[in-house]
Amino acid sequence: MKRRALVIGAAGGLAAAAGLGVAVWRRGARGDPALAALWSTPFEQPGGGRLSFAGWRGRPFVLNFWATWCPPCVKEMPELDRFHREQGESGWQVAGLAIDAPTPVREFLQKVPVGFPIGLAGLIGMDLVRALGNTQGGLPFTVLVDREQRIAWRKMGETSYDELRRETARLG
């Protein structure tokens, strides 16, 4: 009986390892499914037009999910803007996706203008937040995507220029 259990356990372990290997291979071949959704979804911008990430493939970027009603989100916006201004020349892009209604976002951006693009994500944005690894759905939520289209870093909660600088320097 012990031997049978051992054989079944070993077979199960091999099957799990094979499944994981296939999943990793497929993910590498097709990229992260959540990022695939990001590439294919255009977002309305508060000032008009659309924000599309399709052209950002192969470029490293910071993606920040935020809302006007979120105090830590509001507090970190100048830090994100500073990172955008100072690190843009080294190839880093920055974008914000507002999980909010258009009018409050427009009003906020009139008071606190930023130089990076903002998209209006609404409830679709919360699905994307969860797909990108924030299962709690809290804001703010920041993701760094490297040149190979991999999620290199995630953070739920307020970030800062220094933290972004440290994490992006680590990536090279």
pLDDT digits (tens, 9 = 90+) for 139-160: 999 999 999 999 999 999 999 9
In sequence order, what DSSP letters do the residues of 39-92 get, joined into one string? HH--EE-TTSSEE--GGGTTS-EEEEEE-TT-HHHHHHHHHHHHHHHHHGGGT-
Distance (Å, rounded) from C-alpha 35 to C-alpha 41? 10
Question: What letter does residue 148 receive in the DSSP assignment?
Answer: T
Non-local CB neighbours of 60 within 8 Å, separated by 6+ positions: 91, 92, 93, 144, 145, 146, 147, 168, 171
pLDDT string in tens for the chain (172-residue length) = 554 433 343 333 333 333 333 333 333 334 788 899 899 999 999 999 999 999 999 999 999 999 999 999 999 999 999 999 999 999 999 999 999 999 999 999 999 999 999 999 998 899 999 999 999 999 999 999 999 999 999 999 999 999 999 999 998 7
Model pTM score: 0.81
Q: What is the pLDDT of residue 171?
A: 87
Q: What is the pLDDT of residue 123?
A: 84
Bridge pairing between strands 151-156 and 141-145: antiparallel
Instruction: Say if residues 62 and 144 touch (Cβ distance below 8 Å).
Output: yes
Q: What is the pLDDT of residue 4?
A: 47
Non-local CB neighbours of 169 within 8 Å, separated by 6+ positions: none
